[in-house]
Structure 1
Amino acid sequence: MASDKRNPLGPVGENVRRNVQRLREQQNLSLAQVSRRLDKIGRKIPPLGLSRIEAGERRVDADDLVALAAVLRVSVPALLLPHEDPGMPVSLASRMSVEWRTAWNWVRGETAVAASQDWVALLPWRATNQPYLNEKELKQQPFERPTQFSVEAWEEMKDDGPGS
């Protein structure tokens, strides 16, 4: 990946490109085969575009992400995060990282990543992030406490609420 790009891939973009390549190769699919699968579901990405995604030379937008997950037969989070625990915090943004398991719980809407998340606020947080659960199911689900996360800009983020 060229480091002089105006808008280089961030850590999650790097995960996506690596996971697309890993899954395509695991399934013994050529770039042309993945491209044909994408075309069949209405998301045209030519083999050259897929090659550029895997090389980190083309960004993946939200529609690409969903289509790639569908044709590679995985969930969207399976493209966003490392497949295996790297044994160190996972970067979610250039200045934000959490433990691998916490990252997975967060993308599944099971826990917040913010250490300052008010424990009382977790029920509405989960209701927003798991809209398929009814109120009874939400209350029955065990809560995993938010874990401390590493973020250099946390103090700056705290003041970015409405009206700031």
Structure 2
Amino acid sequence: MTASTVTKIEKQSRRITVDELVAFAAVLDVSPVSLMLPAGRTEQVQLAEELTVPWERAWRWAHGEQALPKSGGSTAAERTQWLDSNRPYMSPLTINEVERLLEIREGFAPFHVEMNYDGERWGESVVTRPGNKRRGEDSG
């Protein structure tokens, strides 16, 4: 990238390409989204000409955590499908990471982790060890 290109981008006299955005992010050691959204909390963020959303929602959408209003469906299954499409690295890996963290922290294994997520918020999560009963199970 030439110095002239950088100057034009800085002066906002030229739009930035996706390749250039990625190059800047790599050089600055940040994710591309960090260069696209305001770091400081603001009330609203304009993502496109006719698309303005709350600051936190913009960041969650950019990181694949939460769909924009009306784009990710309203049922738990639709939200889960949206998450699976936008965070393909999360599903079983996340639970495996939690189990491994507990093994390291507690000094023994195995653990079994159940995590409930409806696409918008985490519900009850249960951690059990072999021989221990989960909450709600009777002893007899």
Look up the match of 1:128: 85
Cα distance between partner residues in 2 of 1:114 and 1:124: 15
- TM-score normalized by structure 2? 0.63
Look up the match of 1:110: 65
Cα distance between partner residues in 2 of 1:96 and 1:113: 10
C-alpha distance 103-80 of structure 1, shift in aligned 2 (>3 A): same
Say which structure is richer in strand. Answer: 2
Look up the match of 1:144: 120
User: Any gaps of 5 or more consecutive residues in structure 1?
Assistant: 1-44, 146-164
Q: What percent of counterpart residues are identical? A: 35
User: Any gaps of 5 or more consecutive residues in structure 2?
Assistant: 96-113, 122-140
Look up the match of 2:10: 54
Of 136-145 and 46-55, more deviation after overlay is shown by: 136-145
C-alpha distance 68-136 of structure 1, shift in aligned 2 (>3 A): closer
Cα distance between partner residues in 1 of 2:8 and 2:14: 5
Structure with larger Rg? 2
From 5, 8, 19, give the equivalent of 1:63: 19
RCO higher in 1 or 2 (8 Å CA, sep ≥ 6)? 1
Cα distance between partner residues in 2 of 1:56 and 1:136: 41
Q: CA deviation at 1:136?
A: 7.0
C-alpha distance 47-103 of structure 1, shift in aligned 2 (>3 A): same
User: Residues 100-139 of structure 1: CA distance to partner in whole angstroms, max 9, x if unpaired?
Assistant: 0010000000000124622330111001100112347488
User: Residues 52-74 of structure 1: CA distance to partner in whole angstroms, max 9, x if unpaired?
Assistant: 10111111111111111000111
